[in-house]
Chains A and B, each alone.
Chain A
Amino acid sequence: MPELTYLQAISSALRDELRADERVFLLGEDIGAFGGAFKVTHGFHEEFGADRVMDTPLAETAIIGTAVGAAVSGLRPVAEMQFADFIACGFDQLVNVAAKMHYRQGLAVPMVVRLPSGGGFSGGPFHSQNPEAWFMHSPGLKVVAPSTAEDAKGLLHAAIQDPNPVVFMEHKHLYRRVRGEVQDGIYTTPFKARIARRGENLTVITYGAMVPAALEATAELDGVEVLDLRSLTPLDVEAIVDSVSRCSKVVIVDEANATCAAGAQVSAVIAEHAFEMLDGPVKRIATPDVPIPFSPPLEAAVLPSVTRIREACDELLGY
């Protein structure tokens, strides 16, 4: 199997879908001739042409709305926001038009919105956000967030083939840092959690860029499990309860702001369904409720770090 970066795995999924399914097309800002701000669609313009790798005006509302219209017509649009932060400009079309369409009208909206998200490289308040919780709170949208190259490709294939609008959180900090063996061709990864490392003394429940951080932080600790959620909507309640039941101690890590984050929902699920399995308080690590600052020492002060995760695990293991 070839070894690909997380970014190459995303490109591979898009390329394979474009080749296999003529209904699939991509639309976004600067994705065509230029190949995208992060070069995810590098070389696509030459292979698939301007209609299927469509450069759009700088208009996020119109990108999402146009994708909705194409999707209900039977096409399979994959829209790129240049940065996840910019989805705020297309929010209404996503949460009011796309998300509610099937419930209201019985009309499917098979589309994907790719959101390059996350911080860690001085992107500042408008190029670093993790807005996944906004969409978890919007019934009708699915939300997935891969942490490995293999899952980035498999989840993207599954998202494109899903008959519902799927928000695909791709973490920019993983683009070129994470690499791994990836199967050739089309395969789908279920919207379910996976155990990234099995353990029995404590479980770290997380997703996206915090998965490699959690693995690194707990590499030398004894028996620490890392549960990679992969999908936030639907949330794999069974896997969460199973992991907590086996490990009895839980650290939940979000890179997103803490309040009402995905991890807050995980914490609520544990309180409701696994309270009696706990041998200690649920610990949460997340970015405090603050915009993501630009300057490196400020940014490092707010984003969850390997050290913070390690300290939280140490503390809880000793509880």
Chain B
Amino acid sequence: MLMMRGLEARALSLYKQGKVPGSFYDGYGQEAVSAGAAFAMAAEDRLCILHRDLAAHIVRGVEPARILAQYMGRASGITGGRDGNVHFGDRNRGCVGMVSMLPDMMCVANGLALAFKLRGQKAAALTFCGDGASSRGDFHEALNWAGVQRLGVIFVLENNQYAYSTPTSAQFAVDPVKRAETYGVRGVSVDGNDAEAMFAAVHEARTRAANGEGPTLVEAQTMRMHGHAAHDDMRYVPKELVEHWAARDPIKLQSKRLKELGVDLDALQRDVDAEIDAASQEALASPMPDPDTALDGVFCEGEATELADGLAPWSGWAHA
């Protein structure tokens, strides 16, 4: 969570210096959602990670220098400059990169889970989605399909209260958890600012998924604390709402717990900062992509590339 917040702060700073082209999106205040969820997944599981979920990439083992290079459109970024910001998935870490149409990956995650089912593998697929995405057809087709085929898939719905400027009250009349249940998908709602609650909910969903007990939608209640993107001052969000959630910052909450366990948080922060400094230097030294390669890779030539396994820092899944 500290790495996500630090990397995004550094990337925002690089954006303001003109070193990050295009726009800039972050997940400030939502770090517990992706960190907690990703820690609950095994190395052989598959993930589709969205644009406010940087911690999940970090948990899977994507190196900070490659992430910063990705923001800056450098050759050493995960997509080599072919796609921007957090539009990436490191296939060598078992991740499929997102597209801008946000519920699309729900259908893809079903396919990942279907592959496990057809091969008889005890593993699970997870994708994130948002409150706004729940209005699109893909969301409903994916939930229905997952329910019908009892797929081992987990949909983490990040309810951060706003889809760009649209509040959830203008997005849906029926709660997403209830909607999931009507499709035969188990629905649970958790405090998305509590990393341990996220871990527990996804851990349970993952156990069920891998054991053939079907799909789960985990609604993570959280708040988008920054604008939709760097240009957005989110003046449409009531000040009191931001203040309410600011008091519930996920990093503050987890820090308090760790302090009680005797963890040296200052040392932890220093380590993270040092790693980000080093990553930043490495990324800034990395070349831009060669324009002569702009047409390369539209098609796969030769053997089809496949997904490989990611890291699973929480060893509990080693013998799952």
Contacts and interface: CB of A to CB of B under 8 A. Distances in A.
B46 interface: yes
Contacts of B108: 65-66, 68-69, 72, 93, 97
A52 B82 CA distance: 35
Interface string A176-209: 0000000000000000000000000000000000
Contacts of B83: 104-105
B103 to A, nearest CB: 9
Nearest to B116: A73
B139 to A, nearest CB: 10
Most chain A CB neighbours (cut-off 10 Å) among B109, B112, B125: B112
A140 B90 CA distance: 19
A300 interface: no
A77 B108 CA distance: 13
A106 B305 contact: yes
A66 B142 CA distance: 9
Interface stretch (A11-19, A56-64, A219-227): A56-64
Contacts of A319: none
Given A59-B145, A69-B125, A102-B300, A108 B305 contact: yes
Contacts of B104: 65, 92-93, 96-97
Contacts of A105: 78-79, 83, 88-89, 91, 96-97
A62 B118 contact: no
Contact of B110 (A69, A71, A100, A104): A69
B303 A57 contact: no
A67 interface: yes
A288 interface: no
B291 interface: no
A110 B111 CA distance: 13
Interface residues of B, number: 47
B142 A65 contact: yes
A161 to B, nearest CB: 10
Contact of B148 (A57, A61, A101): A57
Interface in A34-72: 51-52, 56-57, 59, 61-62, 64-72
B110 A163 contact: no
A107 B304 CA distance: 8
Contacts of A69: 96, 107-115, 125
A25 interface: yes
A62 B46 contact: no
B298 interface: yes
A239 to B, nearest CB: 19
Interface in B69-119: 78-79, 82-83, 87-89, 91, 96-97, 99-101, 104-116, 118
A171 interface: no
A189 to B, nearest CB: 18
Contacts of B301: 163
B307 interface: yes
A4 to B, nearest CB: 29
Most chain A CB neighbours (cut-off 10 Å) among B83, B142, B299: B299
Interface of B: 46, 78-79, 82-83, 87-89, 91, 96-97, 99-101, 104-116, 118, 125, 137-138, 141-142, 144-145, 148, 297-307
